[in-house]
Amino acid sequence: MESIYEPTSRISKQAIKVWRLSNLITDVIGIIIIGALLWAGIYFDWFQWIITILWILLGVAPLFSIWSVFFEPSLLYKYWRYGMDEEYVRLKYGIFNRKHTVIPMTKIQYVSAEQGPILRKYGLYTIEIGSMGSSHEIPALSEEEAFLLRDQIAHHAKIKEVE
């Protein structure tokens, strides 16, 4: 799927670290919750099938964590591309399911730069683009890039087409 409309800009390489950290945190919390439920299940004598399912989940969760902490972030980074010109914003991403979205500038209703605690640690921003139909994110851009992109999109999106 190569064409002249292919987006080429890449997100910050720091994204890998950000995703590793955030996935690690959510996975640990998840495993703790499953463990607590399992303990409660055994202690309060829940149905056997609930306990079986919990044991299976507890077995699978670490495998899933290995994937989401060690492999997924770098692959996500590898395939993330974005691009814009005066008329369109283009996003392309995904490891197994690859999505290529094209949004006309005239249909964009808002654009914002956001930052959570982990992103702040690395000085990164996420750009959120809202159109009439949906909202899209470009994750983990450096502050400079993020603000430039936000301002550019905001500038082009000001133009409205005649309905």
Partner 1 sequence: MTDTEMKRLHPLKILASIISFIKGSFVIIIYLFFISDKESTIAFYGRWAFALFVIISFIQMILQWWSTKYELKTRSIHISKGVFKKKSNSIPLERVQNVQTSTPWYFKPFSVTSLTLVTSATDEDASVKLEAVKKEEAEKIENQVLTLRKESAQVKIGDACPIHEQALEKQSRILSGDMSDAYMQLETSERTVHFRPSRKDLLKASFLSLSFLALIPIIATIINNAEDIFNWKMDVEEVYVFIADSWILIGTVIILFLVIAVGFGITRTFLKYGKYEIASDHERIYIKRGTLSEQSFSIRKENVQGIQLNQNPFKKLLKLTEVKLVSAVNDDDDGEEINTLYPFLPTNRAFGLIEELLPGFQVENRMNKLPKQALYVKLLRFPFVWLIITGILFWWKPVIFGWSSTWIYVVIILLISTYAMRALRFKNSRYLINDGFIQLKVGGLWSETFITKRKKVIEIEVEQSFLQRKFGVATIKTVNRTNPVHHEEMQDIPVDASNEFIHWYHERSKEITTE
Per-residue x/- track, 84-113, partner 1 (CB under 8 A): ---xx-----x-xxxxxxxxx-xx------
What phi and psi, each to the nearest 5 degrees, are found at residue 42? -70, -45
- Binders of partner 1 in range 59-88 (CB under 8 A): 87-88
Give 12 or 131: the residue with its C-beta nearer to partner 1: 131
In the complex with partner 1, the residue whose CB is nearer, 65 or 101, is 101
- Shortest Å distance, C-beta 48 to partner 1: 13
> Binding of partner 1 at residue 48 (CB under 8 A)?
no
Token pair, residue 96, equals 């197994």
Please state, in angstroms and rounded to a whole number, the distance separating the CA atoms of residues 30 and 20.
Answer: 15
Amino acid (1-letter code) at residue 88: Y
- Site size with partner 1, rule: CB under 8 A: 26
CB-based contacts of 81: which residues, under 8 Å, 6+ apart?
6, 7, 8, 9, 10, 90, 91, 92, 93
Q: Binders of partner 1 among 126-145, rule CB under 8 A? A: 131-134
What's the one-letter identity of residue 23? Answer: N
* Cβ partners under 8 Å of residue 114, min gap 6: 125, 126, 127, 128
Nearer to partner 1, 6 or 144 (CB): 6
Question: Quick check: 159 binds partner 1 (CB under 8 A)?
Answer: yes
Interaction site with partner 1 (CB under 8 A): 1, 3, 5, 87-88, 94, 96-104, 106-107, 131-134, 159-163
